[in-house]
Structure 1
């Protein structure tokens, strides 16, 4: 007999909601004591909707050891889940699927020295979680995060990333880290502007900006963002001689569409 729907999820409380721009928000919910996940995975969040439910996957921003679960959402016009989020406030109830899932996990790479994380929009969420795990800093010699957005006002995590320099589990390794913000529709003096991530790879701009030499022996790529960016970045990397990582056939690329 199939389990009742209620056996597959818990009801959690919304602890806080922060609206960064009209379209970008972060929020945190209570974390069940039994809830486990690996940095890079996502949760299924839901609401009751009439006689049924509405569910959607969101990458977890929190560290594995955090007491609460934090998420980053982009509100989509006329999106049913976005409509629920737009009305959500502290103290409300939200549904949490009991099982986290996803395979955007850096530990899947058996080797490599440099880790390059490429994100657009909400695709940065799993990398924020990954970067709070001391194991990732111990594992790789160098780490870089590229976050591409349309406008500079959408770079809402810059301060959070800078604060890793004083994180008690990370600060001794922070010198390994490089952050490259990218704005595709706005030119500023503090970001790379006007080009998408695939172009920055193809034209060797990212490598020059970092001062690295990308190569299949040392460089590992993790990609998360809108489906078009993921598809185009994958093709660019394949054209440059890199391969997808498979469990039985190690490669240099892991990817996931952002939620």
Structure 2
């Protein structure tokens, strides 16, 4: 017998909401004791909508061991889910699918020394969760994160990334990390100014990350808008890297941002 739809989700409470720009927001909800996810996975969040429901996938920003669940959303003009999130406030109710999903998991790589995280927009969310896992820092010798946005005020996580230096589980490994901001539609101090695929092809990204990318040592995780993911994947293949598959290990994992 198929379970009733109600059995597949829980109703959670919004704990806080922060609007960083008119389009960018983060929020946290209560976490059921039984809810499990791996860093890099996403939740399905929903609302009652008339006679039915509206659901969308959002990568979890929180660490696996956090008591609450945090998410990062980019509000889309005329988007039905965005319209509901735009008016979300502390104390509101939101639906949480009981099962987290997704395969953007660094532990799937069987080897490698250098972990390169490439993202645009909300694609940074799974990487923020991954960076709070001490196992990642212990395993890789170098970790590099590039976050590409259109405008400088969209680099809303720079302080959070810097604060990892004080994280009690990570502080001794923080020297392994180098964060490279990328701003494509205006000049910004300290940021690169071209799309990630172009920065890969012309060598600017490897220079900024102070690493030489090689199939032997380098493992790439890519998350963001579909055009970036597609073009970055092509650039990496042209450079001699291959998609990672369970039966055929490679150097690239990727997922479209939600």
TM-score for the superposition, normalised by structure 2: 0.99
| Residues in 2 aligned to 1:14 and 1:163: alpha-carbon distance in whole angstroms | 24
The equivalent residue for 1:250 is 249
Matches within 5 A, 1:85-124: 85-124=85-124
Cα displacement (A) at 1:48: 0.1
The equivalent residue for 1:164 is 164
Cα displacement (A) at 1:105: 0.2
The equivalent residue for 1:206 is 205
| Residues in 1 aligned to 2:99 and 2:82: alpha-carbon distance in whole angstroms | 22
The equivalent residue for 1:196 is 195
Matches within 5 A, 1:33-52: 33-52=33-52
For 1:195-219, what per-residue CA distance to the aligned partner results, in whole angstroms no more than 9, with x for missing partners? Answer: 1000000001111112211100000
| Residues in 2 aligned to 1:21 and 1:38: alpha-carbon distance in whole angstroms | 29
The equivalent residue for 1:5 is 5
| Residues in 1 aligned to 2:209 and 2:58: alpha-carbon distance in whole angstroms | 30
The equivalent residue for 1:16 is 16
Counterpart of 1:88 in 2: which secondary structure? coil
Runs of 4+ off more than 3 Å: none
The equivalent residue for 1:176 is 176
| Residues in 1 aligned to 2:44 and 2:165: alpha-carbon distance in whole angstroms | 31
Counterpart of 2:219 in 1: which secondary structure? strand
The equivalent residue for 2:142 is 142
Cα displacement (A) at 1:189: 1.8
Cα displacement (A) at 1:190: 1.6
The equivalent residue for 2:63 is 63
TM-score for the superposition, normalised by structure 1: 0.99
| Residues in 2 aligned to 1:254 and 1:210: alpha-carbon distance in whole angstroms | 19
For 1:108-151, what per-residue CA distance to the aligned partner results, in whole angstroms no more than 9, with x for missing partners? Answer: 00000000000000000000000000000000000000000000
Cα displacement (A) at 1:221: 0.2
For 1:9-56, what per-residue CA distance to the aligned partner results, in whole angstroms no more than 9, with x for missing partners? Answer: 000000000000000000000000000000000000000000100000
| Residues in 1 aligned to 2:189 and 2:148: alpha-carbon distance in whole angstroms | 15
| Residues in 2 aligned to 1:205 and 1:87: alpha-carbon distance in whole angstroms | 41
Counterpart of 1:95 in 2: which secondary structure? strand
Structure 1 residue 229 and structure 2 residue 243: aligned? no
The equivalent residue for 1:185 is 185
Counterpart of 2:190 in 1: which secondary structure? coil
| Residues in 1 aligned to 2:87 and 2:21: alpha-carbon distance in whole angstroms | 15
Number of residues paired by the alignment? 258
Counterpart of 1:209 in 2: which secondary structure? helix
Cα-Cα RMSD: 0.4
| Residues in 2 aligned to 1:182 and 1:66: alpha-carbon distance in whole angstroms | 29
For 1:124-180, what per-residue CA distance to the aligned partner results, in whole angstroms no more than 9, with x for missing partners? Answer: 000000000000000000000000000000000000000000000000000000000
